[in-house]
Amino acid sequence: MQFIAITGGVISGLGKGTITSSLSHLLVNSGLKISAVKIDPYLNFDAGTMNPYQHGEVFVLDDGSEVDLDLGNYERFIDVNLTGNNNITTGKIYKNVIEKERKGEYLGSTVQIIPHITNEIKQWLRGVSKKSGADVVLIEVGGTAGDIESMPFLEALREMKRDGDHILFGHVTLVPEIGPSLEQKTKPTQHSVSALRSIGIQPDMIFARLKGNLSLDARKKISLFTDVPEEGIISVSDVKNPYLLPEIMRQQGVLDYIFTKMNLSGLQFKDKWEEFRRNITHPKSSVRIGIVGKYIDLTDAYISHREAFIHVTGKHGIEVDLEWINSDNLKMDKSQLSNLDGILVPGGFGYRGVEGKIEAVRYAREHNVPYLGICLGFQTAVIEFARNVLGLENANSTEFDPSTKNPVIALLPEQLEVTNLGGTMRLGSYPVVLEKNSIAGKLYGGTEAAERHRHRYEVNPAYIERFEKAGMHFSGKDREGIRMEILELRDRENFIATQYHSEFKSRPLNPSRVHEFLVLKALEKTGGTK
Ligand code: GLN
């Protein structure tokens, strides 16, 4: 078992996650078994309670863990299903250590950051390696070298090398391009590597982030100051699309360099993304899809949707231009909806922006615009139908109006018995039973699908008969037939919504079925062909 740890320097937001994912992609397609771990040095136990405005999307895994969005990138680039253990936080580590201390497992010794916290970190990382059976585990350390929060993690990684673990270090830095001649400045890289060395870590690789390509001069200079051989310095230029990065890195010989360092031989990289890349770089047609949500100032809050659309582009060569529409203002400005080829209402929590989303569904339904609703976008489709087709006054979800006369979305009776709100969330992969002759049945081409969930409220069973009679059809349900999972409109070919989040399982060569459906229907609307 071997490890590659990726640290960051100079500033945050350099795309460490994309670099880690790209490396993982290159290694897995060279025939190695790969796993990846994200270390988030914050104190929160997990990302579940974190505000998407600050941290971007909360990603959900099969096992129901709520994790950092980088895990989504790993899954997409490696094409693997990860578990909650692949996301370490300071909160998780301290919780384990304190629990052990309470049980007396430290036999009365003083419990300290070194060695107790660091041992816990090392044990966790080795555990992931063992359990996954991976040949190589990539470890991405959040934050930048020198942050107080990340110190114990870097210390643990330093110790692992000392303990005899096979571990390579890659450091991501920024090379600013200054002045009219865009001179490439290596000083920030030098400083950042020296910060890393001062805690005992000598990088084996440097990933230099810059707009263009690293000049030979800059490469030589970085090598001289950091002791990293020139072959270990990889130029990571700005790319239009993250899926283009693995190939850019591969062409610089990163794989050969790593294989030599790791003593691996006889491996051959197989490029599975050739056609996918061609389709995203040279699309043949395009559609405009509006995403109606309240977190649109930070589009990372909807990253898995963005990625799912790129996967569709990669399969069909249809470019998807995303229009971000703020559901908060929507009541005032419906004109934003008027020149779209398709509308997506994604998930969300809390009442703010909900009325705008309901307006968006209404617009899509009344103007025959292709519609996809996901989670809250499913629930708002139900509420809209109840209000405007069934005429149920003030129909709502009890999440937004606990005393509504028409609670079309509500907690099920068994959920009401659980007093702890957090405990009632339905998280992770659950089977969805599909009706054969429905749109959904045809999209999935089978009788059952497994999709990831993250929600609390359900369609109220008391209203289902009325919906069905009026033309809203539930074509996917849970195995018990109690929870509604997919809805369609009987008189519409281009309207679908799901209670689950198919965006979480969308992969480059296997796009989310419903996102693909929306794009194809949107293309039909434009009159365009593939
Ligand atoms: N707020 C809704 C619920 O809890 C929808 C959740 C979501 O969109 N992820 O059921």
Same domain for 280 and 260? Answer: no
- Helix axis angle for 118-132 and 151-163, nearest 10°, is 60
Residue 375 falls in the annotated catalytic set:
yes
Q: What are the φ and ψ backbone dihedral angles of 56, each rounded to 5 degrees?
A: 80, -170
Structural domain contains residue 400: yes
Q: Tell me the residue ranges of DSSP E strands in 264-306.
A: 285-293
Q: Residue 284 in contact with residue 317, Cβ under 8 Å? A: yes
Same domain for 165 and 280? Answer: no
Amino acid identity of residue 210, one-letter, is L
Structural domain contains residue 388: yes
Active-site annotation holder among 375, 458, 488, 516: 375
Structural domain contains residue 271: no
Amino acid identity of residue 272, one-letter, is K
Residue 91 CA to ligand 1 centre (angstroms): 25
3-state SS, residue 324: strand
Same domain for 195 and 329? Answer: no
Residue 484: the pLDDT is 98
Does the N-terminal peptide bond of residue 115 adopt cis geometry, omega within 30 degrees of 0?
Answer: yes
Domain hosting residue 418, numbered range: 276-526
Same domain for 110 and 65? Answer: yes
- Closest-CA residue, ligand 1 atom 8, reads 347
Same domain for 234 and 306? Answer: no
Structural domain contains residue 270: no
- Rounded CA separation 523/530 (Å): 8
Structural domain contains residue 269: no
- The last residue of one of the domains, among 264, 299, 325, is 264
Active-site annotation holder among 57, 399, 503, 516: 503
- Closest-CA residue, ligand 1 atom 1, reads 349
Same domain for 236 and 303? Answer: no
- The last residue of one of the domains, among 264, 299, 319, is 264
Residue 156 CA to ligand 1 centre (angstroms): 38
Residue 47: the pLDDT is 79
Mean pLDDT (10-residue bins), the chain, 530 residues: 94 91 98 96 84 83 93 96 95 95 93 96 97 96 91 97 97 94 94 95 97 94 96 94 96 96 95 97 96 82 95 97 86 80 94 92 96 98 98 94 95 73 80 96 95 96 97 97 97 97 97 98 87
- Rounded CA separation 183/177 (Å): 5
- What's the structural domain count of the chain? 2
Q: Residue 158 in contact with residue 199, Cβ under 8 Å? A: yes
Same domain for 240 and 329? Answer: no
Structural domain contains residue 395: yes
- Closest-CA residue, ligand 1 atom 6, reads 455
Pocket test for ligand 1, best of 304, 354, 454, 502 (most atoms within 8 A of CB): 454
- The last residue of one of the domains, among 264, 285, 313, is 264
For residue 225, give the CATH number of its domain. Answer: 3.40.50.300
Residue 494 CA to ligand 1 centre (angstroms): 23
Residue 422: the pLDDT is 46
Residue 501 falls in the annotated catalytic set:
yes
Same domain for 169 and 214? Answer: yes
Residue 492 CA to ligand 1 centre (angstroms): 25
Residue 420: the pLDDT is 55
Residue 190: the pLDDT is 96
Q: Is the dihedral of CA 395, 411, 485, 73 positive or negative?
A: positive
Residue 448 falls in the annotated catalytic set:
no
Residue 350 CA to ligand 1 centre (angstroms): 8
Residue 298: the pLDDT is 75
Q: Which atom of ligand 1 is nearest to the CA of 399?
A: 1
Instruction: Report the predicted TM-score, pTM, of the whole model to 2 decimal places.
Output: 0.93
Same domain for 237 and 320? Answer: no
For residue 415, give the CATH number of its domain. Answer: 3.40.50.880
Same domain for 64 and 141? Answer: yes
Sheet of strand 448-455, all strands in order from the earlier edge strand to the far edge: 318-326, 285-293, 342-345, 371-374, 495-498, 484-489, 472-477, 426-434, 448-455
Same domain for 36 and 175? Answer: yes
Query: Tokens representing 128?
Result: 């992931």
Same domain for 105 and 242? Answer: yes
Q: What are the φ and ψ backbone dihedral angles of 51, each rounded to 5 degrees?
A: -75, 125
What stretch of H or E contains 21? helix 16-28
